[in-house]
């Protein structure tokens, strides 16, 4: 009897001992998951423990520095994060840290003496350790891959080449929507917009040029000016603004050393047309554009127009109805931006401005940070630009300021401009007036006296009429859709969130 009681007592002590070792092991695993190396320090393996804790502290300090830089030196932080080789190196550092962290977790399980926990408890704790290590490896592998992809993207997309010099206090950015299409030869730039942004305040004016603008001039220094001294025109009326991109490539021998002669030709035409000097361009493939919208999670607008999806008004599969808080997917936003069957080019231009404005307002730092991989992947497929990586911080700063201000919009549509016989002096005058008005608003906001004269960033020769006196345009076939040729907002068509 005494022998049986002794045996039971030993078994009970052994069971309690196994439970104690198990709890100690579970605690060590938790410590390793939260502060790598802390479990090893507690268990006496100070060499591994010290390395783990030191690396963890270094990462916390780096994170704190990055957080402070986000507010105190955001441009510097963005310049670092948009440097290709930095992202490439960071990807391998992250992978190495992930491997070390996984080793720390497995080592903590082994240091907890799983053989003293019993087969069941030791097996359970071993499975937990493997799961934790696997999650760490999976997460770091994904992060490492995203960083390498981003590094490649940055090196490819942000290769530079643009003009970083401020033009009369402004950055002028050419935004192109390209469309190769199955029914046409070569790429056409069916969407041409110039964003003129104050380098100090971020206040912006968007100028939209119609794709069917004829007799478009080239600046005197353009090699195409000698071929078309009176503008790009022809008797068949096929020589349109949207064909100049292809014209540049057809004459690429005139642009030795130029990476994209098509874009260069469009820039030269736009500069002559508007009087603005272009700093940078960004060209977006309109069919891939929907992937970028989806990567952002869609766009939300208040729309006052009804637009058919999947065909014209008769064959439409569905409709984007007027109303507040309309959340559009990438495919819907593409239809909203591109559909012109039963409508007009000019109304379509205005809807494109709606989507651009919505993207600007919703592409905030939090959205970009949380969906960076998706946005980066989509951007690499749809975007070509000559913005250098070291200017990203400056432009992001400006975009942040722009989001908090009203964006003025001008669409050069009838009755202001007749695309078949355009008054280029009036276009340049309109640009100059709108830029001057924008700068006057900035001056008024600062309590300064603004000059009533147009600035040097956009001047015109021989003004002919006041463009700001032009009223809205004609009704289109779409419900409630009208075109405002000169307007300071898009409220007649939409409101972005």
CATH of the domain at 403: 3.40.630.190
Give the pLDDT of residue 456: 40
Give DSSP secondary structure letters for 114-126. Answer: GGGS-HHHHHHHH
In degrees and rounded to multiples of 5, residue 7 shows phi and psi of -65, -45
Residue 330 or residue 345, greater confidence: 330
- Alpha carbons 487 and 311: distance in angstroms, whole number: 29
Beta strands in 122-228 (DSSP E): 170-179, 188-198, 204-209
Same domain, 115 and 249: no
What angle do the packed helices 74-81 and 392-403 form, to 10 degrees?
A: 130
Same domain, 335 and 480: yes
Give the pLDDT of residue 66: 86
- Alpha carbons 42 and 338: distance in angstroms, whole number: 64
Q: In what order do the strands lie in the sheet with 188-198?
A: 383-385, 280-285, 170-179, 188-198, 204-209, 408-411, 486-487
Same domain, 325 and 471: yes
Same domain, 174 and 153: no
Same domain, 482 and 424: yes
**Cβ neighbours around 119 below 10 Å, total:** 10
Residue 163 lies in a domain: no
**Cis previous bond, 316, omega within 30:** no
Same domain, 251 and 329: yes
Task: Mark which of 157, 187, 210 sits at the end of a domain.
Answer: 157
Residue 136 lies in a domain: yes
266: CB partners within 8 A, 6+ apart = 174, 176, 189, 192, 244, 245, 248, 281
Same domain, 145 and 206: no
pLDDT band per the 50, 70, 90 thresholds, residue 473: very low
- Mean pLDDT over residues 265-280, rounded? 97
Give the pLDDT of residue 468: 31
425: its two tokens: 């002096």
Residue 311 lies in a domain: yes
CA 384 to chain centre: 12
Same domain, 8 and 116: yes
From first CA to last CA, the distance across the chain in angstroms is 82
Residue 349 or residue 165, greater confidence: 165
Same domain, 88 and 205: no
Residue 38 lies in a domain: yes
- Alpha carbons 1 and 332: distance in angstroms, whole number: 83
Is 91 in contact with 147 (CB distance < 8 Å)? Answer: yes
Determine which helix (DSSP H) or strand (DSSP E) holds 209, and give its type and residue range: strand 204-209
Say if residue 489's pLDDT is above 60. no
Give the pLDDT of residue 17: 67
Say if residue 40's pLDDT is above 60. yes
440: its two tokens: 């006057």
pLDDT band per the 50, 70, 90 thresholds, residue 466: very low
Percent of all residues in the chain with a pLDDT value above 90, rounded to a whole number = 33
Residue ranges in 275-344 assigned as alpha helix (H):
289-295, 330-338
30: its two tokens: 């938790």
Residue 400 lies in a domain: yes
- Alpha carbons 193 and 173: distance in angstroms, whole number: 8
Which residue in this structure is represented by tokens 């989806």? 294
- Alpha carbons 125 and 130: distance in angstroms, whole number: 9
Give the pLDDT of residue 432: 96
3-class secondary-structure state, position 485: coil
Say if residue 216's pLDDT is above 90. yes
pLDDT band per the 50, 70, 90 thresholds, residue 469: very low
Same domain, 177 and 48: no
Residue 233 lies in a domain: yes
Region label for 260, one of left (φ > 0), alpha (ψ between -120 and 50) or beta (otherwise) = beta
pLDDT (tens digit per residue) in 363-389: 665 666 556 666 766 666 667 888 888
Residue 51 or residue 118, greater confidence: 51
Same domain, 203 and 337: yes
- Mean pLDDT over residues 393-403, rounded? 84
DSSP state of 277: P
Say if residue 450's pLDDT is above 50. no
- Alpha carbons 284 and 187: distance in angstroms, whole number: 12
The mean pLDDT value of the chain amounts to: 80
Say if residue 482's pLDDT is above 60. no
Beta strands in 79-133 (DSSP E): none
Give the pLDDT of residue 10: 55
Give the pLDDT of residue 90: 92
Q: pTM for this one?
A: 0.67
Give the pLDDT of residue 189: 82
Domain count, the chain: 2
Say if residue 437's pLDDT is above 70. yes
Please state the length of the chain: 497
Residue 165 lies in a domain: no
90: CB partners within 8 A, 6+ apart = 147, 151
Residue 159 or residue 254, greater confidence: 254
In degrees and rounded to multiples of 5, residue 446 shows phi and psi of -90, 0
Residue 142 lies in a domain: yes
Task: Mark which of 105, 131, 157 sits at the end of a domain.
Answer: 157
Q: Which domain holds residue 302?
A: 170-496
Is 464 in contact with 425 (CB distance < 8 Å)? Answer: yes
- Alpha carbons 176 and 265: distance in angstroms, whole number: 13
Of 5-19, 85-99, 115-129, highest mean pLDDT: 85-99
Is 278 in contact with 172 (CB distance < 8 Å)? Answer: yes
Task: Mark which of 130, 157, 184 sits at the end of a domain.
Answer: 157
Residue 67 or residue 482, greater confidence: 67
Same domain, 353 and 429: yes
pLDDT (tens digit per residue) in 244-269: 999 999 999 999 999 999 999 999 99
């Amino acid at each position: 009897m005494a022998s049986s009681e002794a045996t039971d007592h030993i078994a009970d002590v052994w069971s309690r001992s196994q439970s104690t070792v198990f709890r100690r092991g579970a605690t060590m695993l938790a410590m390793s998951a939260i502060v790598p190396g802390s479990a090893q320090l507690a268990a006496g393996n100070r060499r591994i423990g010290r390395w783990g804790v030191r690396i963890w502290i270094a990462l916390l300090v780096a994170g704190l520095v990055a957080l402070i830089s986000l507010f105190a030196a955001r441009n510097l932080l963005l310049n670092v994060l948009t440097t290709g080789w930095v992202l490439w190196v960071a990807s391998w550092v992250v992978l190495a840290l992930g491997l070390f962290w996984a080793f720390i977790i497995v080592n903590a399980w082994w240091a907890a003496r799983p053989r003293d926990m019993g087969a069941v408890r030791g097996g359970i704790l071993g499975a937990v350790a493997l799961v934790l290590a696997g999650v760490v490896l999976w997460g770091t592998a994904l992060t490492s891959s995203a960083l390498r992809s981003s590094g490649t993207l940055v090196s490819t997309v942000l290769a530079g080449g643009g003009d970083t010099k401020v033009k009369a206090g402004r950055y002028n950015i050419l935004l192109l929507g390209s469309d190769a299409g199955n029914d046409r030869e070569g790429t056409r730039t069916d969407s041409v917009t110039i964003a003129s942004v104050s380098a100090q305040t971020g206040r912006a004016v968007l100028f939209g040029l119609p794709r069917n603008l004829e007799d478009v001039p080239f600046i005197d220094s353009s090699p195409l000016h000698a071929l078309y001294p009176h503008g790009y025109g022809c008797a068949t009326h096929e020589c349109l603004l949207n064909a100049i991109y292809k014209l540049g490539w057809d004459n690429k021998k005139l642009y030795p050393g130029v990476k994209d002669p098509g874009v260069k030709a469009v820039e030269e035409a736009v500069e002559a047309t508007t009087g603005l000097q272009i700093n940078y361009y960004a060209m977006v493939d309109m069919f891939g554009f929907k992937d970028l919208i989806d990567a952002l999670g869609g766009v939300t607008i208040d729309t006052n127009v009804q637009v058919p999806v999947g065909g014209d008004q008769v064959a439409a599969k569905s409709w984007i109805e007027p109303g507040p808080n309309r959340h559009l997917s990438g495919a819907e936003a593409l239809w909203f931006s591109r559909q012109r069957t039963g409508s007009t080019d000019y109304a379509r231009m205005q809807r494109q401005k709606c989507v651009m404005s919505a993207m600007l307002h919703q592409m905030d730092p939090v959205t970009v940070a949380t969906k960076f991989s998706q946005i980066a992947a989509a951007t690499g497929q749809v975007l070509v630009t000559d913005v250098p990586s070291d200017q990203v911080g400056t432009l992001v700063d400006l975009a942040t300021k722009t989001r908090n201000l009203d964006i003025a919009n001008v669409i050069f549509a009838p009755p202001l401009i007749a695309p078949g016989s355009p008054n280029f002096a009036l276009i340049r005058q309109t640009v100059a007036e709108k830029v001057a008005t924008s700068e006057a608003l900035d001056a008024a906001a600062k309590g300064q006296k603004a000059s009533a004269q147009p600035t040097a960033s956009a001047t015109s020769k021989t003004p002919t009429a006041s463009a700001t006196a032009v009223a809205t345009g004609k009704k289109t076939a779409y419900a409630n859709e009208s075109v405002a040729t000169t307007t300071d907002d898009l409220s007649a068509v939409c409101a972005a969130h």
